Structure 1
Amino acid sequence: MELSIAKKFLLLAQHPEKARMLISGVHIQYGLAGALLLQMSLEDKIEVSGEDILTVKRGANFNDPFLEEVAQMIQRSKKPRKMRYWIQKVGPKALKWRHQFYDQMAQERLIRVEKKKFLGLIPYTLTYLVNSQIRNKMIQALKSDVFRKKDIIPENMAVLGLIEACKMHNVLSKEKSQLESIKKDLKQLVKESPISATVDQTIRQVQAAIISTIVATTVATNVATSSG
């Protein structure tokens, strides 16, 4: 089964046993945004200038509706924008789109989706891993890539980049000694990757967007608490 980078990211982020994700909504939001832009890059449909300006290549066509909408957002912009701007702009949309990704993944029998309502009013979604074999194989392949440090296919490098950006290292291993090695090796791999120009920029901007959002949320919470 050929999975997009976004679906691979969500599959890795899914808790293997419980009805929840392993990472926060903020990480999912910007991780998905990064996944979509990385997919566009791997398909050679966007380019990033030396000043981090992101543009859609002339004549680029998209079969994926999510990628098409991101491309239209970029093309409709009144002026050239940097990668960071688009990560932050696409993030909130990606958070909404995740439910459509969940539905597609349920049809592909990767996960099971349960839609419920809290107090009969507030809707929420539970997701359960169905196909652990595909997820486990993916983890083993990515882990092997990190240790081998060479001949990594671009798709895997992009996914590893998202693992680095969203601090999902413990998906690859829970052994403390091995985990430290993975963190160190993965950071170096991302910098030396053949597609590092886009991967490194995307990772940096995903991390920046996550950090700035967490800081803003913390400040807002502290202000609300002190005002009360």
Structure 2
Amino acid sequence: MELSLAEEYLLLALDDVSGRPLLSAQHLQLALAGASVAELTLQGSLDVSDGADGGRKGRFRTTGRATPTDPLQREVLELMHERRPKDAIRKIGQGGFAKRLREALQRGLAARGVLREEQVKILGLFPSTAWPSTAAH
């Protein structure tokens, strides 16, 4: 089974047994955003303009060479166009989109049997969801 960079990072960032993140939600979401952008670049969907093609130098641009099949990756691609790399990760790594990206990655890994969704309570009071590894049990 082939995993995306974001999926691989997510697996590294979750405790296998408890399914809880090993770093803050903010840091995890920024890292997943960065991994998603890196994946698009490696696939040839996104690159940084050198200005020779009429694009703004130092800004992300869509290449048209590869179109992601995943709807969230297509959305990341659209959000990156014409953004400076230093601003791009912050744009998708914070707020509602970042949460949707993380949840989609978790649910996708659960659907393939890598993680399992588990309802837990924090301090015995607050409902939360953990994503333990199926290999850990």
Q: 1:131 to 1:52 in 2, by over 3 A?
A: farther
User: 2:59 is matched with which residue?
Assistant: 53
**CA distance in 2: counterparts of 1:41 and 1:95, whole angstroms:** 22
2:39 counterpart residue number: 39
Larger gyration radius, structure 1 or structure 2? 1
CA RMSD, 1 decimal: 2.2
- Counting aligned pairs with the same residue, the percent is 31
Q: Provide runs of 4+ in structure 1 moved above 6 Å.
A: none
SS at match of 1:128: coil
* Pick aligned residue for 1:104 from 98, 102, 108: 108
**Residue 82 of structure 1: aligned partner:** 84
Equivalent AA in structure 1 for residue 84 of structure 2: K
2: CA distance between counterparts of 1:56 and 1:108? 30
Indicate the SS of the match to 1:58.
coil
Which structure is higher in helix share?
Answer: 1
Distance in 2 (CA, whole Å) between partners of 1:91 and 1:52 is 20
Measured after TM superposition, the shift of residue 42 of structure 1 is 0.7
Q: Which position in structure 2 is the counterpart of 1:10? A: 10
Could you give the per-residue CA deviations for residues 123-154 of structure 1, whole angstroms, max 9, x where no partner exists? 5211111125xxxxxxxxxxxxxxxxxxxxxx
**Which letter maps to 2:100?**
K
Q: Which residue in the other structure is 1:70 paired with?
A: 76
Equivalent residue of 1:30, what SS? Answer: helix
> Could you state the TM-score of these two structures normalised by the residue count of structure 2?
0.79
Tell me how far apart the structure 2 counterparts of residues 84 and 122 of structure 1 sit (CA, whole Å). Answer: 36
Contact 2:18–2:130 (8 Å) recurs in 1: no
Trace 1:137-216 onto structure 2 (pairs within 5 A): none
Unaligned runs of 5+ in 2: 51-56
Corresponding residue number in structure 1 for 2:98: 94
Distance 2:63 2:126 in 1: 42
Show the counterpart of 1:124.
128
Cα offset, 1:117, TM superposition: 6.8
Partner Cα distance (2:32, 2:87) in 1: 15
TM-score by length of 1: 0.50
Q: How many residues align?
A: 126
> Who is 1:23 aligned against?
23
Cα distance in 1 for residues equivalent to 2:65 and 2:93? 25
Distance 1:29 1:67, change over 3 A: same
